[in-house]
Amino acid sequence: MGIEPGEVLRGAAAMAERCSSDSLWENPALFYAAAHFLLSEKGKNIAVVMPFSEGLRSTADWYAQLLAESLGKKFARKIVKTTEGKEEWVKDEARIVCTGRTPVACRGTNDLHSLHQNNIEGRPDKVVTLIKVGRFPLEVTLPEDTGALSGKKYSELLNLAAEATEWALVKAQRPNCTIFLPELSAYLWGGLIYFWELATALEGELLNINAFDQPGVESYKTYLKVKLQPETVSDKNRQEVSSCPVRRQEEFIL
């Protein structure tokens, strides 16, 4: 793909160093995690991620997976010590929390004409993270005979649209923040990935849940294995599936 893996790792390492401080005001990942945790405590449970760059469209999808799988948990975490003196995290089945923010991946400017209507005037349950890119690898300048857009660079217009989005959110008193990348490089992308990974892990600590497992994802896989490869699953799994069959209520079938 023409992307140097070493540059991705170098950017991640630089972000790790930047996020090594215990200070809320010096550690961007800690600040991001704390701010979103506090806002979620006030009912802002939907995380909208909107990069103004087609090159980051898939990264927004990746973050949606990271956030949903890491923080969407039913049980709180219990920390126990093993006989070897090691720390072990287990489900605290006495504490059902059903926590985790719901991610929505979109992109600017495409979704300014759809999802953004809900961001501005819908239920006040969202926090919007915008991503702006300073310089693009390929620059396009519009012709001089295009009215208000004459001679404007595409990147300039894209960032102006992001600025307008910020303004609209602030005017509507909807919480938002902006991540700014001077350019879209492997180094800075690696830093962005690490930043989000660490921020998500820290938010898991604030929620006191295990951010490193995904038991909810495993349940549908168990059903598929029972139906497709019953010889590979345990009697317990087969009993679990048979004791909870899929039911369709005929009176609601139209």
Residues 114-131: tens digit of each pLDDT: 999 999 999 999 999 999
**Overall pTM > 0.75:** yes
Report the interhelical angle of 186-207 vs 28-41 (nearest 10°).
Answer: 40
- Whether 69 is a known active-site residue: answer yes
| Domains of the chain listed by start with CATH number | 5-213 (3.40.50.10490), 215-254 (no CATH)
Cα 214 to Cα 69: distance, rounded to the nearest angstrom: 6
Say which of 41, 139, 183, 221 is annotated catalytic. Answer: 221
Nearest alpha carbon to residue 62 among 200, 205, 224? 200
Q: Is 221 a catalytic residue?
A: yes
pLDDT per position as a tens digit, 202-215: 999 999 999 999 99
Catalytic choice (113, 144, 171, 250): 113
Q: Over range 221-227, report the average pLDDT.
A: 92
Out of 69, 73, 126, 203, the active site residue is: 69
pLDDT in tens, 95-105: 999 999 999 99
Look at residues 213, 216, 233 and name the one whose alpha carbon lies nearest to residue 224: 233
Q: Which of 26-30, 47-51, 149-153 shows the lowest per-residue confidence on average (mean pLDDT)? A: 149-153
Q: Residue 247: what pLDDT? A: 86
CA distance 132 to 111: 15
Q: Is 17 a catalytic residue?
A: no
Could you tell me where the beta strands, DSSP code E, fall in 145-226? 176-183
Convert the pLDDT of each residue in 43-68 to its tens digit: 999 999 999 999 999 999 999 999 99
